Amino acid sequence: MQSIETFQTRRLIAERLSAKHLSDFCRMHEDPKVMATLTTHGGIISNEETRQMLQNNLGHWERYGFGLWVFRDKHKDQFVGRSGLRNTYVSGNKEVELAYALMSEFWGKGLATEMGEAVLKLGFEQLGLKNVVCFTLTTNLASQRVIEKLGFQYEREIIHVGLPYVFYRMKASQFTPKD
């Protein structure tokens, strides 16, 4: 069984988000390639905005007992990215969302899919979630491919915070663990 504080995938080590991850997040949020699909304005954010975002996500952990994990490369101990589960509202409905973002030097190696698989396993098998949703901008084709590789089912297009997204869902009964 995976520990909720820290767990491993084939190539990565995950640890529960903490205040010590601020500098990693600041570096990620200074990269315009990463932020193009992460913010409503499609741009980078300041260190102060990142600090606030980290605080919000630490608050999520305190409140719900789950949230984001930070993933590092097992061998080189480099910060690769973050992934996790967040309570959110979509079209007025309460949902649990799978989130992921990677430093751009790690794109294209299957790592987002590897993170997503581990987080879904934890969500369904340990947290007992019934449903997880994932949504991404209609223009974010790499993320749509990750969502499909993970096995989510397409539901519909939505407008979320004023932007067009494709919205997918996975029910617990549809989750098939890879290992």
Ligand X SMILES: CC(C)(COP(=O)(O)OP(=O)(O)OC[C@H]1O[C@@H](n2cnc3c(N)ncnc32)[C@H](O)[C@@H]1OP(=O)(O)O)[C@@H](O)C(=O)NCCC(=O)NCCS
Write down the residue that tokens 């084939």 correspond to: 10
Q: Which residue's CB is nearer to ligand X, number 109 or number 156?
A: 109
Number of residues lying near ligand X (CB under 6 A): 20
Is residue 111 involved in binding ligand X (CB under 6 A)? yes
163 binds ligand X (CB under 6 A): no
Whole-number Å distance between alpha carbons of 130 and 18: 27
What tokens were used for 52? Answer: 């606030």
First to last CA, the chain: 12
3-class DSSP state for residue 23? helix
Tell the smallest beta-carbon distance from residue 130 to ligand X (Å).
Answer: 21
- Residue 61 parent element (H or E): helix 47-64
Dist CA 101 CA 84 (whole Å): 10
CB contact at 8 A, 129 and 85: yes
Q: Which two tokens mark 53?
A: 């975002």
The dihedrals phi and psi of 64, each to the nearest 5 degrees, come to -115, -10
CB of 103 to ligand X, least distance (A): 8
Contact pattern from residue 113 through residue 152 relative to ligand X, giving x for each residue in contact according to CB under 6 A and a dash for the rest: x----------------------x---xxxx-xx------
Residue 110 binds ligand X (CB under 6 A): yes
CB of 127 to ligand X, least distance (A): 20
Nearer to ligand X, 142 or 163 (CB): 142
Per CB under 6 A, 88 contacts ligand X? no
| 8 Å CB contact between 111 and 102 | yes
Q: Return the range that interacts with ligand X (CB under 6 A); candidates 1-9, 48-56, 107-115, 171-179.
A: 107-115
Binding track, positions 24-63, relative to ligand X; x by CB under 6 A? ----------x--xx-------------------------
> Contact residues for ligand X (CB under 6 A)?
34, 37-38, 100-102, 107-113, 136, 140-143, 145-146
